[in-house]
Chain A
Amino acid sequence: MAKSVRQSLYYVLLWLISIAFFLPVLWIFLAAFKTKEQILAIPPKWIFTPTFENISNMFSGMNFEKYAVNSVIISLSAVVIAIIVSFFASYSFSRYKPKGTDFLMFLLLSMRMVPGAAVVVPIYLMYTALGWKDTYYGIILLYAMFSIPFSVWILKGFIDGVSLRYDETALVNGGSRMHVMFRVILPQVKPGLVAAFIFNIIFVWNEFLFNFIIGGKKVTTIPVALATGLYKTHGVDWTFIASLSLVYMLPLILMIYFFQRYLLVGMTFGTVRGEV
């Protein structure tokens, strides 16, 4: 009996910690359903009659749909391109171990060490010179580049874990290399693909700096719309920020709820496969 009480207290403590970390996010989400006066009210209002006006205003006002569609198209295509390209490379790294594999793997990781504010200067100059500013392919391929290093690391870990016998059996039975890669190996590394996808989409979905600098009217995503749409005539437009943040964050929250296992796999480059 004493043990089960202790256990319950332990679970209550863990729940309280989780909620404590969630509180600021909750405060933003609540604001999405408040009027402007309620958001700025002192003492703070935790209980109130929710209004859906902010969210409906957001959908009808500004170019919400355009920015949201941009966010979805750009994030999805960048990450998918990165994963396809990375799958080829990691298959090669894992199965053929070409000369310089270790060095190339390190170089790839170093792509992500560079501070964004440092890369953005030359990228900006290059994009201006080549006329790639404010184009979909310009921004998509740039984000794909950012997503490649971790995808290669994660996928190589997974392909290493698939026994070579599968390749050999398929080849002996007359399958081509393409057949081996797509029909034999690919289905077995699905968790790796999901993990790489989740890991990278979190970054790309929230990315601000590059889209702000090398993007433009055509390819604006929500984070940039959020940063540039802050001010109304009377100071910061809190209802707008709150409702936009809520709508924009929901897909990611649902994703880490339903694919929680893969979040862990991705964060450790596939070195951990089990449950958290």
Chain B
Amino acid sequence: MKGIAKWLHERNLFPYALLVPVLIFFIVWNILPLLWMVGLSFYKYDITTGEPLKFLGMDNYQAIFRDHGIWQALSKTFLFVILAVGLETILGMALGFLFWGSSKMPGRRLALTLLFSPMILTPVAAGTFFRLIYDPVFGIANYYLEAWFGLKINFLGDVKWAYPAVLMVDIWMWTPFMILMTLAALGSVPKAELEAAQVDRLPWIRRLWHIVLPHGKFILMLGILLRTIDAFKTMDLIYTMTSGGPGNATELIAISLFRKAFEAFTMGNASALAIISLLIAIAFTSIYLYILNYKERRA
């Protein structure tokens, strides 16, 4: 082992040798499947029929652009991402600020463990159990709604209610994450500057704007970026709750993709859709990174 390292070192290859394992992972599990997928997206390929591959050119893409259901799923997904990430960020930041001064709170560690518990819950378990919580007959949500407000709502069975109902579950699961990120952002603000602001009796809104945000914005943006990516990918939580229904009220793009691939087994079509969603995800991320860099360049 030592001999090899020395040999590599003499030839200035050591730094590259250290990267080899990661690059192998990257090539085998990312580049190869990606190329495979790009290729397939030009073919008709149904696993179940056993027909040979048939070259279609751009037909799969054209079919997707003409597919009304896909456009609906996309707009539902965008709305979901905007609402979920937006509300989680607002709520998470507000609660994060609230928790800021709590370092001497009794039992703080336990309280935070309880607070963070939703985000480590297996999405499959959460989704399934919320079916019971939302159940119109046996569900606890409806019991208290009726007892306190005289309302009865078939959350997951009603086309009007299913979408807000799954959105609520996502917000419940991931607001703690934004609280965590807000706490992290606040922790990165230098104490000296905060004390100076205290001495100068700066109003809290200006403290926030001039001291907290400039230091904490990187971490906050990172949190929002990670949430956006994950919200766009949301799949097992909703699939276990509603399978995209009733009708297609909660069918987000990841669920359409899953259905095309593993319920209809039209792999060529699914690949084309996968590539489109991939491009959208990359666009999201690039915009975020651009905004971050732009602000940094100006500062």
Contacts and interface: CB of A to CB of B under 8 A. Distances in A.
A21 B117 contact: yes
Interface string A144-161: 110010001000000000
Interface in A209-251: 209, 213, 222-223, 226-227, 230, 236, 238, 241-242, 244-245, 248-249
B57 interface: no
Interface of A: 10-11, 13-15, 17-19, 21-22, 24-25, 27-28, 31, 39-40, 42-44, 85-86, 88-89, 91-93, 95-96, 98, 104, 107-126, 141-142, 144-145, 148, 152, 176-178, 202, 205-206, 208-209, 213, 222-223, 226-227, 230, 236, 238, 241-242, 244-245, 248-249, 252-253, 256-257, 260, 263-264, 267-269, 271-272, 274-276
B285 A113 contact: yes
Count chain B CB atoms within 10 A of each CB in A96, A222, A267 and give the residue with the most: A267
Nearest to A252: B120
B111 A14 contact: yes
Contacts of B131: 236
B116 interface: yes
A56 to B, nearest CB: 20
15 contacts: A13-B98, A14-B111, A28-B125, A42-B138, A92-B14, A115-B254, A115-B277, A117-B258, A118-B37, A122-B274, A123-B29, A125-B36, A141-B25, A145-B30, A206-B123
Contacts of B74: none
B188 interface: yes
Binding site secondary structure of chain B? helix
A14 B223 CA distance: 22
A223 B254 CA distance: 19
Interface string B189-203: 000000000000000
Given A121-B267, A268-B181, A272-B184, A11 B105 contact: yes
B176 A21 contact: yes
Interface of B: 1-2, 5-6, 9, 14-16, 18-19, 21-22, 25-26, 29-30, 32-34, 36-37, 40, 95, 98-99, 101-103, 105-107, 109-126, 128-133, 137-138, 140, 143, 147, 172, 175-177, 180-181, 183-184, 187-188, 218-219, 222-223, 229, 232-233, 235-236, 240, 253-255, 257-258, 261-262, 267, 270-271, 273-275, 277-278, 281-282, 284-285
